[in-house]
Amino acid sequence: MNAKTEPLLAVRQLAVRHRVRRWLPFAPMRWLRAVDGVNLNLRAGETLALVGESGSGKSTLARALIGLQAVAAGSIRYDGRELVGLDRKAWPALRREIQMVFQDPQSSLNPRMRVRDILAEPLQALQPQLDASARSQRVERMLARVGLPAELLDQRAKKLSGGQCQRVAIARALICEPRLLICDEAVAALDVNAQLEVLELLRSVQAETGLAILFITHDLGIVRRFSDRVVVMYFGRVMEQARTAVLFETPRHPYTKALMASVPGADPAQRAALLRDGPAPDVTVPASGCLFTSRCPMADAECLRRVPYTRSLRDGAAVACHYIADDWVRGRGFGDA
């Protein structure tokens, strides 16, 4: 892939706010910063993994990208076109090019509809030039491609297992041949073998069409095998971005290190050394320092006082930490570059 290629998706300083419920009628209005100043690029043919613990804003960001979540500030440009503030009447024309696989496959499918109709519906809406025979052939091919038997075509969604629902949801997202696919825990409901099959399917489609994939997951093993680059989020902010190989070989941000130490089989003592037992940050007030300060064993007065800017490093990584630089600051416990 040409590194100079313009990104298909470019997000700049994106912010999403959620209103916090008031327990007293005259209490001041409070807003939760679900996504706060996020920047990222995604190019055609690239897979960008988005990782972070629950509550880090990954799903909120994904919904904002497809127009299902109001944006408070910032820019989302798709293929050079600004999506923030786009009239809702303009979104249907974009649905063929931008598709999403939601986190809960069973709730994303109409339980009363047959699989045949679920897969044909987007074709009827987004590719009306296809006749009934062409739609039926496309539906049958796509169902086979996600590894499901033709007998399921006349099965209602409520009769499907969780894994079957997930495959149908992926088939529905791919059937109109989108340019950008957003996967929110798209293989979480599948067993290991089925995960590998679906990931190979996505790789195959990507190789054939140049599909760009934003892949949201908790599974760092999948991230390492499947993604080209990784974005690490923590309570709405990006802590680190890097090429996958760079991130796993030399994670820079203390939170990234702690996240990697939390995978099954990791040394609990190592995680304890990297993650202090502190409170979660209060994201209903303006940030006055690093969000990870309360849990970072290396935090000092500077971390409390000032929000870290994102430093771009020579190997293409970007890290939001006061004490990260290309020549690396030794003696603070972060490791060596």
String of DSSP letters for 42-92? E-TT-EEEEE-STTSSHHHHHHHHTTSS--SEEEEEETTEE-TT--GGGHH
Pair 96, 206 in one domain: yes
- The last residue of one of the domains, among 193, 216, 249, is 249
Q: Which residues pair with 234 in a beta bridge?
A: 237
In a domain, 327, yes or no: yes
In a domain, 145, yes or no: yes
**pLDDT, tens digit, 9 for 90 and up, residues 227-274:** 999 999 999 999 999 999 999 999 999 999 999 988 777 777 777 778
Residues in the chain: 337
**pLDDT, tens digit, 9 for 90 and up, residues 120-155:** 999 999 999 999 999 999 999 999 999 999 999 999
**pLDDT, tens digit, 9 for 90 and up, residues 158-170:** 999 888 999 999 9
Lowest mean pLDDT segment, chosen from 21-30, 63-72, 194-203? 21-30
Pair 183, 35 in one domain: yes
Q: Distance between CA 255 and CA 225 in Å, rounded?
A: 21
Write down the pLDDT at residue 17.
Answer: 94
* pLDDT, average across residues 65-79: 96
Query: What residues have CB less than 8 Å from 329, skipping those under 6 apart?
Result: 323
Write down the pLDDT at residue 268.
Answer: 75
Write down the pLDDT at residue 325.
Answer: 61
Q: Is the pTM of this model over 0.85?
A: yes
Q: Distance between CA 125 and CA 114 in Å, rounded?
A: 17
- The last residue of one of the domains, among 223, 249, 275, is 249
In a domain, 290, yes or no: yes
Pair 245, 255 in one domain: no
Which pLDDT band holds residue 1 (cuts at 50, 70, 90)? very low
In a domain, 4, yes or no: no
Overall number of domains in the chain: 2
Write down the pLDDT at residue 287.
Answer: 81
Farthest-apart Cα atoms in the chain, separation: 68
Lowest mean pLDDT segment, chosen from 104-113, 127-136, 202-211, 300-309? 104-113
In a domain, 120, yes or no: yes
In a domain, 228, yes or no: yes
- The CATH number of whichever domain residue 154 belongs to comes to 3.40.50.300
3-class DSSP state for residue 292? coil
Write down the pLDDT at residue 151.
Answer: 94
Which pLDDT band holds residue 212 (cuts at 50, 70, 90)? very high
Q: To the nearest whole number, what is the mean pLDDT of the chain? A: 89
- pLDDT of 5 above 80: no
Pair 170, 65 in one domain: yes
Q: What angle do CA 215, 259, 167 make, to 5 degrees?
A: 30
Can you list the alpha helix ranges (DSSP code H) found in the chain?
58-65, 91-94, 105-108, 115-126, 132-145, 162-174, 192-209, 220-226, 244-249, 254-260, 268-274, 301-305
Pair 229, 264 in one domain: no
Q: Distance between CA 81 and CA 83 in Å, rounded?
A: 6
Q: List the 310-312 sheet strands across, edge first.
A: 98-101, 180-184, 212-216, 47-51, 229-234, 237-243, 318-320, 310-312
Q: Distance between CA 41 and CA 252 in Å, rounded?
A: 20
DSSP-assigned letter for residue 145: H
- The last residue of one of the domains, among 226, 249, 272, is 249
Q: Structural domain of residue 297, as residue ranges?
A: 251-337
Residue with the bigger pLDDT between 263 and 69: it is 69
In a domain, 1, yes or no: no
3-class DSSP state for residue 129? coil
User: How many percent of the chain have pLDDT more than 70?
Assistant: 93
